[in-house]
Structure 1
Amino acid sequence: MKIAILGGGGAMGGIFGGYLARAGNDVTLIDVSKAAVTAINDNGLTIEEKDGSQPVIKVLASNNPASVGPVDLIINFVKCYHTEAAVRAAAPMIAKETAVLSLQNGWGNAPRIASIVGEDRVLVGLTYHGGTLLAPGRVKHPGSGMTYIGELAGKPTERLGKVIDTFRAAQIETTQSDRILDEVWKKLAL
Structure 2
Amino acid sequence: MSERKYAILGTGALGGFYGAKLQKVGLDVHFLLKSDYEQVSQNGLIVESKDGDFTLPQVNAYNDVAKMPKCDVVVVALKTTQNHLLSKLLPPVVKDDGVVLVLQNGLGIEEEIADIVDKVHVIGGLCFLCSNKIGAGHIRHLDYGHITLGEYAAGYSTIGITDRMVQIAHDFQTAEISIELAEDLLLGRWKKLVWNIPYNGLSVVLNARTDELMADTYTRTLVKQLMYEVKAGANSMGRTIPDSFIHTMLDYTMKMKPYRTSMKIDYDECRPLEVEAIVGNPLRKAQALGVNLPQISSLYHQLKFLDGRN
Common fold by TM > 0.5: yes
Q: How many residues align?
A: 186
Cα distance change on mapping 1:5 and 1:75 into 2, 3 Å: same
Greater relative CO, 1 or 2 (CA 8 Å, sep 6+): 1
Unaligned runs of 5+ in 1: none
SS state at 2:82 partner: helix
User: How far, CA to CA, are the matches of 1:47 and 1:82 in structure 2?
Assistant: 24
* 1:122-137 alignment runs, 5 A limit: 122-137=122-137
Structure 2 counterpart of 1:5, from 5, 8, 16: 8
SS state at 1:129 partner: strand
SS state at 2:150 partner: strand
Contact 2:96 2:120 in 1 (8 A): no
User: How far, CA to CA, are the matches of 2:46 and 2:28 in structure 1?
Assistant: 18
Output one character per residue of 1:77-103: Cα deviation in whole Å (capped at 9) or x when no partner.
111121231352231112212110111
Deviates more, 1:81-90 or 1:19-28: 81-90
Output one character per residue of 1:13-59: Cα deviation in whole Å (capped at 9) or x when no partner.
100110011111110111222xx1121121110001125x4310132
Partner residue, 1:160: 165
Partner residue, 2:28: 26
Partner residue, 1:174: 179
User: How far, CA to CA, are the matches of 2:28 and 2:73 in structure 1?
Assistant: 10
Q: Which amino acid in structure 2 is aligned with residue 158 of structure 1?
A: D
Partner residue, 1:183: 188
Q: Which amino acid in structure 2 is aligned with residue 165 of structure 1?
A: H
Q: From the two aligned structures, give the one with the greater helix fraction.
A: 2
> Which structure has the greater CA radius of gyration?
2
SS state at 2:100 partner: strand
Q: Which amino acid in structure 1 is aligned with residue 31 of structure 2?
A: L
Aligned-residue RMSD, C-alpha = 1.6
User: How far, CA to CA, are the matches of 1:54 and 1:42 in structure 2?
Assistant: 20
User: How far, CA to CA, are the matches of 1:172 and 1:22 in structure 2?
Assistant: 12
Partner residue, 1:54: 53
Q: From the two aligned structures, give the one with the greater strand fraction.
A: 1
Unaligned runs of 5+ in 2: 196-310
User: How far, CA to CA, are the matches of 2:87 and 2:166 in structure 1?
Assistant: 23
Partner residue, 1:140: 140
Deviates more, 1:58-67 or 1:22-31: 58-67
User: How far, CA to CA, are the matches of 1:79 and 1:41 in structure 2?
Assistant: 22
* 1:70-81 alignment runs, 5 A limit: 70-81=70-81
Q: Give the 4+ runs in structure 1 shifted more than 6 A.
A: none
TM-score normalised by length of structure 2:
0.57
